[in-house]
Amino acid sequence: MSNDVFVITEHMDGKFSDVSFELVGKARELASALGGQAVAVVVGGGVNPNVFASDSTIHVDDAALSQFNPEAYGKVIEALVKEKSPRVVMFGWTVTGMDLAAWLSARTGAPCAAYVKDVRVEGSSLVVSCQAYGGKLTAEVAPEGRSGAEMAIVACLAGSFPAEAGQGSTAATVIASPVDLSGLKMKFIEMVKPAGGDVDITAQTKLVSVGRGIGGKENIELAEELAQKLGAVVSASRPVVDAGWLPRTRQVGKSGLKVKPKLYLMLGISGAPEHLEGMKSAELIIAINTDKKAPIFNVAHYGATADLFEVAEAMLELL
């Protein structure tokens, strides 16, 4: 087994996700401590793979990999990992990473740590910090195989590390698929993108975002009134959209849209990692939540542990 750290990168529509650069930057740090190399792995075509600050980049290009297929991608990554025997394999804890990290763990028997917020090397051991209960609890684990030094799989939350550290220009080595991809049981049919809504929240400079704490659909009107006074638009966390209180085009988060407004005012949002991924780049973050231990207060610039209705009504009165 080598001491290399593999990063399974992600891309869509010709663009790599931010979490790919974040992981490459972290991989360089880990590889240096372990005495190995940071290796970026790019699966599928339609992208420029020479954009990472890795020690090396492997680009697997095959017609069967033109669109994301969990079975095809899983087989390719499994074959590469078994051939190269890295010490650590890093994924983003994303829709794609959830599929592939679980596949690799099941197929290789290697331990997999998910919801990872930090990872470091202590002595010769890997120590991983994992979030649970929407970030309210952190568990530190040392993933080890039966021999104590087997490969570890870590699936990291987006936004955990700086993306700039992983940006560079390492030339990729292009290889053919290491496995036969004919006769797959799963095939790509089509990509269905969300239909356009009444407003594009990604283009807004001010957002008033509501979460489960808003209580019910009838209370959305209060948020809309406050947004109107502020010259803002109402957005929401996933539970609000899942409940049907607002359309999916208003959803902020990993399974929704990424926003970067100048002002992001949150009413009753606890700050689950999935939501933070969509709004962590906002210039000014203000959170209102009755739970003083809510994870959102770890990222908010200003916060109030108060009843959101009382605060919203007081703001309306002042405005």
Q: Where are the CATH 3.40.50.620 domain residues in the chain?
A: 5-175
Q: How confident is the model at residue 308 (pLDDT cuts 50, 70, 90)?
A: very high
Structure confidence at residue 147 as a pLDDT band (50, 70, 90): very low
Question: Given a cut of 60, is residue 145 above it in pLDDT?
Answer: no
Stretch(es) of the chain classified as CATH 3.40.50.1220: 201-318
Instruction: Give me 268's structure tokens.
Output: 């009753």
Name residues whose C-beta falls within 8 Å of residue 273's C-beta, 6 or more positions apart in sequence.
93, 115, 117, 131, 134, 135, 157, 158, 159, 254, 295
What are the residues facing 152 on neighbouring strands? Answer: 88
* pLDDT average, residue stretch 250-270: 92
What pLDDT does 97 receive?
Answer: 94
Identity of residue 20: S
Q: Residue 244's pLDDT is what?
A: 93
- Inter-CA distances, 18 with 9, 24, 158, 163, 212, Å: 10, 10, 8, 6, 27
Q: Alpha-carbon distance 88 to 60, whole Å?
A: 19
23-27, 151-155, 262-266, 270-274: least confidently modelled range: 270-274
Which CATH superfamily is 5-175 part of? HUPs (3.40.50.620)
- The residues with which 12 forms a beta bridge, in sequence order, are 15
In terms of DSSP bridges, do strands 137-141 and 15-16 run parallel, antiparallel, or are they unpaired? Answer: unpaired
Q: Can you give the pLDDT at residue 193?
A: 72
Give the pLDDT confidence score for residue 1 in this predicted structure.
Answer: 76
Task: Give residue 197's pLDDT band: very low, low, confident or very high (50, 70, 90).
Answer: low
Kindly report the three-state secondary structure assignment for every residue of the chain: CCCCEEEECCEECCEECHHHHHHHHHHHHHHHHHCCCEEEEEECCCCCCCCECCCEEEEECCHHHCCCCHHHHHHHHHHHHHHHCCCEEEEECCHHHHHHHHHHHHHHCCCEEEEEEEEEEECCEEEEEEEEHHHCEEEEECCCCCCCCCCEEEEECCCCCCCHHHECCCCEEEECCCCCCCCCCCCCCCCCCCCCCCCCHHHCCEEEEECHHHCCHHHHHHHHHHHHHHCCEEEECHHHHHCCCCCHHHEECCCCECCCCCEEEEECCCCCHHHHHHHCCCCEEEEECCCCCCHHHHCCCEEECCCHHHHHHHHHHHC
| Residue 210: other Cβ atoms inside 10 A | 30
For 29, 109, 143, the CA distances from 146, given in Å and listed in that order, are 26, 10, 10
pLDDT surpassing 50 at residue 77: yes
Confidence of residue 134 (pLDDT cuts 50, 70, 90): confident
What is the rounded end-to-end Cα distance, in angstroms, of the chain?
64
* Topology of the domain covering 201-318: Rossmann fold (3.40.50)
- Pair 296, 289: CB distance under 8 Å: yes
Q: Are 40 and 9 in contact (CB under 8 A)?
A: yes
